[in-house]
Amino acid sequence: MMRTLMTSKIHRATVTQADLHYVGSVTIDAALMDAAGILENEQVSIVDVTNGARLETYAITGERDSGVIGINGAAAHLVVPGDLVILIAYGVMDETEAAAHKPCVVHVDEHNRVVKVGDDPAEPVPGMPDQRTGR
């Protein structure tokens, strides 16, 4: 059986721009994409922590070290600058791969700079006392 697992996430990034008339996608700082192992054109889910919206799109590479998280196209109706989001990539694996899989979790600060990279998807953002974990 094949399983779909989270391969990586960028946790609690701040949306920096939104362009309703851009042709779709989410623009992500190249440094964040590298840290999370997200590839150009890879399918990603966007979970808006601020308003609860969830959507799927694809990643495009933004300027390195710019901190850009840009919501493009129709998604700009749902996600706006200043919103906190979680960007999640998934992969399809067989049972053996899935059993050994460790996801990549990228925690960022309020400027979308990497503060920690780990493999525990339930770990709260370092230095954020308002975060809770289910563990």
- In tens, the pLDDT along 57-71 reads 999 999 999 999 999
Domain ranges of the chain: 2-118
CATH architecture of 2-118: Beta Barrel (2.40)
73 assigned binding-site residue:
yes
Tally of residues, the chain: 135
96 assigned binding-site residue:
no
Strand partners, 116: 107
75 assigned binding-site residue:
yes
From the list 22, 28, 5, the residue with the least C-alpha distance to 85 is 28
- In tens, the pLDDT along 115-129 reads 999 998 888 877 766
Query: Is 109:98 a contact under the CB 8 Å cutoff?
Result: no
pTM of the complete model: 0.93
> Which residues form the catalytic set?
25, 58
Query: Is 92:101 a contact under the CB 8 Å cutoff?
Result: no
Query: Is 15:82 a contact under the CB 8 Å cutoff?
Result: yes
